[in-house]
A and B are shown apart, each in its own frame.
Chain A
Amino acid sequence: MKEVKCDCGHVNPIGTILCESCGKVLEEKEKDKKLLDMRYEGSARRSQTYNKTLIDKIWNFFSSVKVGVWLIVITLIASAVGTILPQEMYIPPIMPAEEYYEDQYGWIGKLYYDLGFHNLYSSWWYLILIASIGISLVICSLDRVVPLYRALKKQKVSRHESYLQRQRVFGASQTEDTDKAFTMAKEKLKSKKYSIREENGNILAEKGRFSRWGPYVNHVGLIIFLIGGMLRFVPGMYVDKILWIREGETKVIPETNGEYYLKNDGFILEMYDKEKDKEVFGEAIDKAGMVAKNYQSNVTLYKKQGDTVAGEEADLKKVKDYEIKVNKPLKFENFALYQVDYKLNELNKMSFALTNKKTGDEYGDLTVDLNHPQDEYDLGNGYKAEVVSYFPDFEFDENGEPVTKSRIPNNPAFVFKMFTPDKPDGEISFVAIRQTIEPFGDNEYKMAFKGIDTKNVSALTVRKDLTLWIIALGGVIFMIGVAQGSYWNHRRVWLRRVNGEVWVAGHTNKNWHGLKREIEAALDGTGIKMPEDQLQNQSEKKG
């Protein structure tokens, strides 16, 4: 590997365009331009220097900002496509996705589904796009930050004449008393928070160099963020379960290894009330009809004590009472429970009376807990009812047989066998809501419907996300980096004596307006002429 030695004696790495130390142009092709290309201080970037091996080629591909921008733009367009129709996770579960899209949106919907856009954000190609952006972030940053750091570290105060002349802000002028002018300018620059370096009577005033690291800091933040996103797929890092829990019920909280139990002490649904709530809401409430005010589950959290064998009742110790509301999840250990859904007035109990059909005499009531029915209800005096079959969510299948759609008691139906002193062999009766079938001819007795009891059900999301702190860390670092790069500017002002003249040059990575104002203020009264903005002069000549 050959290195490039500049006239000033500094040895630069191969591929350097501007000498790290004095700023003299080393690369031929840069020599005839009127202004220097100051990006990355003309330092030697790996991607601009090597292009032989496969690794070089991959490196060069991903280190290109052009490629990076294309990746961003493609991701942007793809993301937009994903919002044309709702994603699969947001469609109502009334029919399979395959039918839903065509049914709701016609051929466009079918095409959307066939192209896989209904799950766009978890498609392999979308993930590859995101991953490529991640790789591009790493390589772009490494390719630039190291040489840039070197160049800024090695820069000396007295820059080469050609370097100063070809800065965007440059001017040469005569002064009567250069020493005095320099001292004055130095003081003024100091008061503007510039740090001053001097060498052979020349001055370099610099401030805000750390803003140059902003982009790299924010890229590091983004990479951490993306890593955090990837970690979700590691088993044990992420839990997303839903827990339906009835009022009065105690259930084990899923994914807690049976450690934690939750009791639902009651679900509360509140609506805004014109009479009770703020008067100003009246009009809005009238217009909307009903506006929800609060969804709340009052719960008690229990922790299991000691070990229990399967089947044995767990020994529970109360941890705390809590009111879970939207925006107010219950947190314990790494878990959080969120109020996400509810169901009002789910059937809970049904009461019947064993009744003689002719006389209407009743021989005792029974109440069936629809979630835990008993096999047999003894009514005393030789009367009893046996539950032969139970269909919590009853319907007839295509063969006309009674079946249950689910275990939730939406439409309970029973096959009772009624035993009475005069019918010791029992009579069979099929009882459903508003429907009684007597399969073996006329019965003497019936199970007369007496009433129902309902309960509310809360739906809680059980969430554990161990990646959150990494995501948060990435976010914080990103914000610091973005603020660092956006709200501070790296400014340098060079003052150099050349053959009895004073040369002033200025450079900033952005906000030239601000730099010029500062130079103007610093030179005011020193007798040194305000330098020109050579780029602006160029464009004004053109226009």
Chain B
Amino acid sequence: MVTISSNLLYTAFILYLIATVFFAGSIKDKNRTKKGPNRWAAIGLWISIFGFAAQLGYFITRWIAAGHAPVSNLFEFTTFFGMSLVGAFIVIYLIYKTPILGVFTLPVAVLMIAYASMFPREVSPLIPALQSDWLHIHVTTAAVGQAILAVSFAAGLIYLVKSVDQTKQSKQRFWLEAVMFGLVCTLGFIIISSSFSASGYKAEFNWIDKNGQEDVLEYHMPALTGPHEGKLITEGKFEPLAEMPAIINAKKLNTVIWSLASGVILYLALRLILRKRIGAALQPLAKNINLDLVDEIAYRSVLIGFPVFTLGALIFAMIWAQIAWTRFWGWDPKEVWALITFLFYAAYLHLRLSKGWHGEKSAWLAVIGFIIIMFNLVAVNLVIAGLHSYAGS
């Protein structure tokens, strides 16, 4: 069952990639009929739907195998997020029929699923705190809400790719490229960690933690930054270039450095091939799209996603917290970041409604909103970690 499940996920992953190509193709297609999307887009849509169905199959089979909904660790949650993003895209696509949305949403979903598989993938049993039906209710609703909000990020990005002037230097051009660089770095992280894990790299260190305790630490990437008073005990492996003080997590820092480095190399390689900024290279894709329509898609996704997010990430969360942790609110970092996300989108809506922040300003806000969501997913689990620390290493 677990094998079937993994294969279905793999299938979905490939299908999303293919669908992206079709959606991109539909924009390049010269013989487009005047009305509505062309055949390329129709095929792209069907492939996305099949991909979504395959991933739904992964979800259901894994649920059956584990006996609980597969949303209980970082791998499962992030994969589900990716699936919801595709689902949200399909729904929004059916309303607005804009192939370019697929070109931006599906790669984000693909990145998300690939990123997810960098974490432990085995089916894990539920600790007592997670044994509740609210696990399914709260986590899935929150993820769906975030995914719908993420569609507004894709739409915002399209808006910026089209509207930001690539011919002259500006803050907008710089920051748009920075967002692109961030996405490339995620790809860098995925490539570098899967290559090292495929090669089976393993180096163990004896080290002293901040409480003066001796411990063993296992690296899966060559250690550029070694742990505090670390001694390499696996023979023939890379000796660290620098040793970190005990309060810094040398292993995580090492991963960050490797990801950034591979991101930079990948980015430079892309620049060499494209001979222009990524933003500029993507601009032709957005040639035919109407800015007002993209703006509306972004706004609409926030409008649809905000109530769902509030319901899942705050209201259901509070109900469950009252049952499991005795109080509905406890200022746990994850809770606080859900509140921050809520406040941010509330500000977005107020600025839009009353201050007339439409168009480009609104698009930037959508991008920032997504960064906040990602921060809550990645940094809060891996760096800050509180009660929601099911994330693991």
Using a CB–CB cutoff of 8 Å, the interface residues on chain A facing chain B are 39, 65-66, 68-69, 72-73, 75-76, 79-80, 82-84, 86-87, 89-90, 104-106, 121, 240, 272, 277-278, 280-281, 283-285, 287-288, 291-295, 325-327, 329, 336, 338, 340, 461, 463, 465, 468, 471, 475, 478-479, 482-483, 486-487, 510-513, 533, 535-536, 539, 543
Contact = CB atoms under 8 A, between A and B. Distances in A.
Contact of B331 (A121, A285, A465, A486): A121
A65 B350 contact: yes
A90 B325 CA distance: 13
Contacts of B292: 512, 533, 535-536, 539
B70 to A, nearest CB: 11
Given A72-B343, A72-B347, A539-B291, A513 B122 contact: no
18 contacts: A65-B353, A65-B354, A65-B355, A68-B350, A72-B347, A73-B343, A76-B347, A240-B327, A280-B123, A281-B66, A285-B125, A291-B125, A325-B128, A327-B324, A463-B326, A512-B292, A513-B300, A536-B290
Nearest to A82: B336
> 9 nearest interchain CB pairs?
A284-B124, A326-B128, A65-B354, A283-B122, A83-B333, A327-B132, A76-B343, A280-B123, A281-B125
Contact of A69 (B304, B315, B318, B347): B347
Of listed B300, B330, B333, residue having the most chain A CB within 10 A: B333
Contacts of A277: 125
Contacts of B310: 478-479, 482
Contact of A83 (B2, B336, B355): B336
B178 to A, nearest CB: 20
B229 interface: no
Contacts of A39: 353-354
Interface in B300-349: 300, 303-304, 306-307, 310-311, 315, 318, 322-324, 326-328, 330-333, 336-337, 339-340, 343-344, 346-347
A79 B355 contact: no
Of listed A293, A468, A482, A483, residue having the most chain B CB within 10 A: A482
Contacts of A72: 343, 346-347, 350
B340 A79 contact: yes
Contacts of B339: 79
Contacts of B4: none
A283 B303 CA distance: 42
Interface of B: 1-2, 65-67, 96, 120, 122-125, 127-129, 131-132, 134, 210, 247, 290-293, 296, 299-300, 303-304, 306-307, 310-311, 315, 318, 322-324, 326-328, 330-333, 336-337, 339-340, 343-344, 346-347, 350-351, 353-355, 380, 384, 386
A519 to B, nearest CB: 16
Nearest to A340: B326
A280 B66 contact: yes
A269 to B, nearest CB: 10
Secondary structure type dominating chain B contacts:
helix
Contacts of A272: 125
Secondary structure type dominating chain A contacts:
helix
A287 B127 contact: no
B128 A293 contact: yes
Nearest to A83: B333
B128 to A, nearest CB: 4
Contacts of A326: 128-129, 131, 324
B351 A69 contact: yes
A294 B132 CA distance: 12
Contact of B247 (A84, A104, A479): A104
A486 B306 contact: yes
B145 to A, nearest CB: 12
B237 to A, nearest CB: 22
A289 to B, nearest CB: 13
A281 B124 contact: yes
B96 A83 contact: no
Nearest to A84: B384
A105 B210 CA distance: 10
Nearest to A480: B307
Given A68-B350, A72-B346, A278 B67 contact: yes
Nearest to A214: B307
